[in-house]
Structure 1
């Protein structure tokens, strides 16, 4: 799986929000802490807000915060918002046809793992057992 820079930025921003002690986190603070170009971050935060994963508040005491507890937002949730639905792979002809099953199993394993790991896991540094 190859994640775009945009998706990696979105994951980093979401983890930064998950690790915040409470209250709105200004975009500038996220940008600096995660070394995300502010222009990209603003677009990413807007996309996450429109998807209902984060809330925002304007003003001097404004910023962003998670719309649900970090334990209820998986990495897959963030990736799906930014990347969209994965397209089906091309069919494999002839002798290479079994590769479809291999790649399908790989996708299922990847999707399962990303759905299992939450922002809370990453923010706390307590990832579930990743060796399967």
Structure 2
């Protein structure tokens, strides 16, 4: 899976806001706290606002707050807000893809990939990421043999 810079920055920005709840957090504070380009942060915050994940406060003490508690905001919802649906194949949902011949069963793999993405990203909230106390299924995946190794073959595949 490729995690775009935009998704990575959006989650990091949301974590900066969540960490400072209930305070209003400026784009400058977010950018500085994570070493992100301010203009990119402002663009991302606009996407998060349109998705209803953050609310903007105007004025000299303006900035951003989450619209829900950090325990109710999933990483998947943030990624969808800035990059669209999880696990698309050529702009289609995996279950909409059809291939001829020897590749006819490949969409089943893409559906499984999307399902695993949903398990992790829709099961993990900003609160989980802030505290490091990940949900049990996510922690098991993180701790699985070979999980941190490049090109590891899962134990079930051997």
Larger-Rg structure: 2
> Could you tell me how far 1:117 is from its partner in structure 2?
0.2
Once the two structures are superposed, what CA deviation does each residue of 1:74-98 show, in whole Å capped at 9, x if it has no partner? 0111011111133235423212222
- Alpha-carbon distance in 1 for matches of 2:135, 2:16: 19
1:114 paired with 2:133, answer no
The number of residues matched between the two structures is 132
Q: TM-score, normalised by structure 1?
A: 0.91
- Alpha-carbon distance in 1 for matches of 2:99, 2:17: 42
Counting only pairs closer than 5 Å after superposition, residues 59-98 of structure 1 correspond to structure 2 as: 59-85=59-85, 86=88, 87-89=92-94, 90-98=97-105
> Could you tell me how far 1:59 is from its partner in structure 2?
2.1
Secondary structure of 1:116's partner? Answer: coil
Secondary structure of 1:22's partner? Answer: coil
Higher relative contact order (CA 8 A, sep 6+): 1
**Contact kept in structure 1, 2:21 and 2:65, CA below 8 Å:** no
> Could you tell me how far 1:21 is from its partner in structure 2?
4.1
Q: What 5-or-longer segments of structure 1 have no aligned partner? A: none
Q: TM-score, normalised by structure 2?
A: 0.77
Q: What 5-or-longer segments of structure 2 have no aligned partner? A: 142-158
